[in-house]
Amino acid sequence: MTTISSRAGSMSGGGTGILDREHTIAKAGFNRWMVPPAALCIHLCIGMAYGFSVFWLPLSRAIGLTAPKACPDISLMQELFTTTCDWKVASLGWMYTLFFVVLGVSAAIWGGWLERAGPRKAGVVAALCWGGGLLLGALGIYVHQLWLMWLGCGIIGGVGLGLGYISPVSTLVKWFPDRRGMATGMAIMGFGGGAMIGAPLANLLINYFKTSTDVGVWQTFLVMGIVYFVFMMIGAFSYRVTPANWVPEGWTAPVKANAMVSKNNVHLDNAHKTPQFWLIWWVLCLNVSAGIGVIGMASPMLQEIFAGKLIGMPDLSFSQLSADQKTAIAAIAAGFAGLLSLFNIGGRFFWASLSDYIGRKKTYYCFFLLGIALYALAPTFAAMGSKLLFVLGFGIILSMYGGGFATVPAYLADMFGTQFVGAIHGRLLTAWSTAGIIGPVVVNYIREFQLAAGVPRDQLYNTTMYILCAMLIAGLICNYMIKPVDPKWHMSNDEVAKLQAASAASSTGTQSGSFGIGKGGFDAKAALFWAFVGVPLAWGVWKTLESAVKIF
């Protein structure tokens, strides 16, 4: 990372390189509404991590072509290096674990570097890792080496996920002190929406490239790796940071003090020593654990609970369906998974924006109280046979799952100040890594246990829902315990001034001018940039709704 940074720093040949933070300080007249679409350029690309399941079935018959060439007795270690057997879907599924574990670890390790280097340099490294990781994954598929695919997409790509995910957080919080939640919600909703664009795009590419001798996946990885690299570089080079002490024109901080919104900063080295950090860590971990387990099992859950009801045959249970009927309901269940992703992305913007008005703590109270009620009612909705209530209930749950991600950066800024919020957020994302293991394990293994015990398929998930309720109750208690940070952890004004000295020197002090809403406002240039990211996002929403309508 240091090597990349030093090389990048010398690209311009002057005192500061084109990728250095000092080179990205905004000049008077810059429109702050250019920053969220820059973040979306990156988040819509790395968000494809959620949509990777679209590759599993074709990759599971990459050698057999029409059907998997299975080797039943092969171990996972042998599977990593085999060139003669097809990969199991379960082995490919480990990619999800790699994605989110490496995301959290890399965000924690390099979050402090990001604060010093700035969002542009971090965005470029993220583009190299994510785009390059897909290219290496394409090579792994071409030579049929699973370890190479894990290394390229899972590990190198995972580093790109971590850096790309946190790259805009600190910048957006500083550009929108008046709307912290909304700003981070706009960017982070891109991560939820990435799969809505990427999954149907991948399907189109696979169908275009596949032949009688090739399933068409390595070519798809190659094209998507290049496209994502270009989009992410556009986003990275569009980032700008605020001059020291800048505030929006005409805006002043609220006179009425809010105890839960600190005007002080806590140093990165001290944030994790406070109880507030670990309470928010558990709040995020428990909220995400409950939601991520449902995301992974959304399709089989709808199929097993409603079975024949999905195709107008209410008397047929899942085990009574024919192979063709199971294929039909699988297509319908795919629409359910897509609809959940739509709630996920919408929730990121809605709940984060709402938190600007009701506060972060009350927003998380909503997540936990509503979540407890909806998980507890899910078995009742299933027993009633109400697809509408069941789908709507889980849609709201997934909106709060996404909302939890989008609200937490603003929660951290309220608690610890804005100086190190990006790096603190990076460390907090280890909660996501943990949840990525806890959630699927709870849902998947309880399902297997229930199945082995002879529980009917339409009741397989009842116990799971009550366990998820218990997890949310624990999260509710953690949220209740969050209080303002003890003043002993606050940085002095002199310490903050020293940290900002370099930026102040580069930007000749506090700048004035039209930086956003106010004079200059949402101008034509900003509108075009929003359209650049909005058109593919609208296409993804359309494709999702087209698929989801089949449920009803």
Q: What is the pLDDT of residues 401-417, one digit of tens each?
A: 999 999 999 999 999 99
Which domains, from first to last, does the chain contain?
Answer: 34-242+512-552 (1.20.1250.20), 259-491 (1.20.1250.20)
Q: Which of 343, 376, 366 is nearest to 464 (CA)?
A: 376
Q: Do residues 193 and 537 make contact, with C-beta atoms less than 8 angstroms apart?
A: yes
Cα separation, 512 vs 153, whole angstroms: 44
Give the alpha-carbon dihedral of 155, 161, 162, 167, to 10 degrees: 150
pTM: 0.85
Say what the pLDDT of residue 508 is: 46
The radius of gyration of the chain from alpha carbons, rounded to an integer in Å, stands at 24
Alpha helices per DSSP H over 417-461: 421-428, 430-452
Name the percent of the chain in helix, strand, coil, to the closest 5: 75, 0, 25
Phi and psi of 214, rounded to 5°?
Answer: -150, 135
Cα separation, 262 vs 413, whole angstroms: 8
Residue spans of the chain under pLDDT 70:
1-16, 255-257, 296-297, 299, 500-521
CB burial of 176-202 (b: ≥16 within 10 Å; e: otherwise) equals bbbbbbbbbbbbbbbbbbbbbbbbbbb
pLDDT digits (tens, 9 = 90+) for 86-134: 988 778 878 888 888 899 999 999 999 998 899 999 999 999 999 999 9
Say what the pLDDT of residue 313 is: 84
Phi and psi of 284, rounded to 5°?
Answer: -70, -45
Q: Is 266 helix (H, G, I), strand (E, B) or coil?
A: strand
